[in-house]
Each structure stands twice: as C-alpha cells, then as structure tokens.
Amino acid sequence: MSLKSIFGANTMSRFLLMRTVSGAGLVLVVCLATFVAVTLLPGDAANFVSGRSASPERLAEVRERLNLNDPVAERFFRWGLRAVQGDLGPALTSPRQVSEIIAPRLRNSLILASIAAALLVPLAVATGALAGALAGGSMDRGLSVISLVLLSMPEFFLGTLLAYWLGVKWHLFPPIALFDAAQGPWSNPAVLVLPCLTLVITNLGYPARIIRANVAEAMSGRVVLTARLNGIPERRIVWKYALRNCLAPGIQVISLTLLYLLGGIIVVENVFQFPGIGTLAVEATQQRDLNVVLGLVATITVIYALVMLLTDTLIILVTPKLRTLRF
C-alpha cells in the first residue's frame, strides 16, 4: 500500500504526514541525546536528594529506590515507553509527578512568551516596513544602527541593567518575579514587565532587519514602480504591495524569532527568577533530576516541531508557487 493510496494525491496532507514523522524523529533524537548527556554528568539525583548528610547506605538505598542502578538503555526505553503514552513519570528529587511540576511552569513561560511575541511581531513588522520604505534615508540608517545594537545585546546584560535601573533604582517594576508558580503571574502582573521588555528589546533587531531588507527590495521592484506610475498612494504601496511580497520570508523570520524566544526565555527567566521552564531547566539539571529534564526537553522539542510545522504550512499556503509543488 503506497502513501499515495492512503492520502491520495493531495500534496498538502502528504507534506503534513512527512513533517509529523520527521518531527517525531526529532523529538526522539533530542530526548535520547539529553538522556545520554545528563547521565554523563558526574553525580546523580540521589546525591541531591540526600546529599552530604546521608550515610553511604542511605545513599545506596535512595539510588535503588530511584532505579538509578539500572542500565542506561533500559532506563531510557522504560522512560520512552511511558512518555509516548503521555506519562512523564515521577520526579527524582521530589515526590511529585513531572507533568505536575512542568505544567504550571510551562503555562507561566507561555504567558511571558505570548505577551512578548504579541508586542514583538507588530513592532518588528512596523519598524521593518518603515525602514524598508524609507531605505537609504536618515530614518532607515538610524533604525538600522539601533536594531544592530539591540541585536548584539545579550539578554542577561540588558536584563540586569533593566532590573537595576527600573527595579532597584527607580522602583518602577519588581526586579524579581516573586510569585507562586502554581498561581501564575496574574496574581501580580507587574512582574511580567521587565522580563517582557528584555525579551522584546533583545529580539526585535533580527526580524526587523530581515523585514526591512525584503521591503526595501520589493520597493525597488517593478510592481512598486508600476503602482507608483498609476498614482497609488505611497502608504498603500508599502502595505499592499511591498509587505505582501515579503509575507513568506516574514513568516519564516517571525517563526524563527518565536523559537529563539523560547531559548531566550531560559536566560531571561533566570535573570528575573521567573518561575517558568527556564528556571526549572537550570534547577533540574543542577539536581540531576533526569526525569524533569527529559520531560522539559520533550515538551520544548514538541513545541519547536509544532511551530516549525505550522510555519512551513503557512508559507506553503501564502506562496502560490509552493502550493502546487510536488513533494
């Protein structure tokens, strides 16, 4: 039975199937790599559960209870089998379930990332379009310099500066995101301001520059020239003709930025002690809580794979040439 007989000649569904399969493969490979990496780190969770004050016998007992003595391959297989059924197992360093630990943290991070993205995307498109439309002018040059500065600013550096100036010095916003992970940031929305600001500022440069380049290119193209000769107002030309032409690269760059945001969030969360997946990842790695680390990695990889799939699908939908392409 061929794929074609299952899905018919529909290129789109075949594309989706292929991407789903490769996405699942990606998740598997990343989890395996993480598993190996964490087991290679010196020490295990038993050390952190019992630590310095435990007798060697007690440590051995804890190790046995956590199944840390079993062969690595067997442990990974067991974990994988459970994980595909949606069970991430118990944490090693606390009596709770991994999913129970990750869920509120993931929600907090997604809230932070969504607000940052909601500000970032329109801002990037607007500044990119503005600079591109006025390519070569002083406004363009100014924006270009600013975006380059923002692009090269590391999150931890800007985060620390903002925490100091806006938090400690001027008392405008809390420099530390002190809130109960389970309750979420809405109990005190002010804690979101500085992490969001850091994420938006440091991530704005790249998409803005790409959009600017594409808009500038489109503005010097024949379509725009014809439109201008037809007397169409300049603003309409930018929005309707130039921007539409860079829809595909725009989606691409925005999705890349969103994925990058997921990485940046780990640093930013640690600067502001924001109880999300970033701070959890650092803590779990330090404590060698393999189950939590794996649960987190699997979750993040699935999100990555989904965003990439969505991006590619959107690009195909908005690009007529690709829509009819045969895979």
Partner 1 sequence: MTKTNRVRLSDRIFARFRENRARTPALAACLGAGLMIAGPWAALAETPQVGGTLRAAWVGGGAADKLDPTTWLTILELARISAVFDRLTKINENGKPELMLAQAMTPNADASVWTVKLRPGVKFHDGSPLTARDVLYSFKSAIGRGYFAATNFSMIDLQKSRMVDDLTIEFVLNAPNAEFDRVVSDASASIIKDGTTDFSTTAIGTGPYKIVNWVPGVRTELTRNEAYWGNPVALDKLDMIEIDDDNARINALLSGQIDLAVNVPPYFASQLEGAPGYSVAYGSGSTAPAFYMRQDKPPFDKAEVRQALRLAIDRKKCVEVALDGRGTVGNDLFGPSHPSYARDIPQREYDPEAARKLLDKAGIGELQVELVTAPVVGMLECATVFKESAKKAGIEISIRQISPADLYNTQSVYLQVPFGTTEWKGVSFQEMARTGLLQSSFANETANKNPAFDAAFAKAEAALDPAARNAQFAALQRSLWDDGGYIVWGIQTPVTAFSDRVGGYEGLAGAEVGFLPSGIGNLWIKH
Report the site for partner 1 in 23-42 (rule: CB under 8 A). 42
* Choices 58-66, 108-116, 295-303, 306-314 (CB under 8 A): range interacting with partner 1: 58-66
Least separation in angstroms between residue 181's CB and partner 1 is 6
Least separation in angstroms between residue 155's CB and partner 1 is 15
Nearest alpha carbon to residue 133 among 258, 1, 254, 238: 238
What is d(CA 243, CA 227) in angstroms, rounded to the nearest whole number?
14
**Judged by CB under 8 A, does residue 299 bind partner 1?**
no
* Choices 28-36, 134-142, 171-179, 294-302 (CB under 8 A): range interacting with partner 1: 171-179
Residues 6 or more apart whose CB falls under 8 angstroms from that of 7 comprise: 13, 14, 17
User: What DSSP state is assigned to residue 325?
Assistant: -
Residue from 26, 59, 103, 309 binding partner 1 (CB under 8 A): 59
Q: Are 155 and 272 in contact (CB under 8 A)?
A: no
Q: Which CB, 160 or 313, lies closer to partner 1?
A: 160
Q: Are 257 and 211 in contact (CB under 8 A)?
A: no
Q: Are 68 and 43 in contact (CB under 8 A)?
A: no
Residue from 7, 48, 206, 260 binding partner 1 (CB under 8 A): 48
Nearest alpha carbon to residue 290 among 26, 24, 82, 36: 36
**Judged by CB under 8 A, does residue 198 bind partner 1?**
no
**Judged by CB under 8 A, does residue 292 bind partner 1?**
yes
**Judged by CB under 8 A, does residue 273 bind partner 1?**
yes
Q: Which CB, 283 or 312, lies closer to partner 1?
A: 283
What is d(CA 100, CA 182) in angstroms, rounded to the nearest whole number?
10
What is d(CA 254, CA 141) in angstroms, rounded to the nearest whole number?
22
Structure tokens at 209: 């520059």
User: What DSSP state is assigned to residue 276?
Assistant: T
Assign 226 to helix, strand or coil. helix
What is d(CA 217, CA 104) in angstroms, rounded to the nearest whole number?
44
Residue from 1, 2, 40, 52 binding partner 1 (CB under 8 A): 52
Q: Which CB, 45 or 196, lies closer to partner 1?
A: 45
Structure tokens at 133: 């439309």
> How many whole angstroms from its chain centre is CA 219?
32
Report the site for partner 1 in 252-271 (rule: CB under 8 A). 270
**Judged by CB under 8 A, does residue 174 bind partner 1?**
yes
**Judged by CB under 8 A, does residue 192 bind partner 1?**
no
Least separation in angstroms between residue 160's CB and partner 1 is 7
* Choices 57-65, 144-152, 201-209, 306-314 (CB under 8 A): range interacting with partner 1: 57-65
Number of chain positions touching partner 1 (CB under 8 A):
46
In the complex, the residues that contact partner 1 under the rule CB under 8 A are 42-44, 47-59, 61, 91, 93-96, 101, 160, 163-164, 167-168, 171, 174-176, 178, 180-182, 270, 272-273, 275, 283-284, 286-287, 289, 292
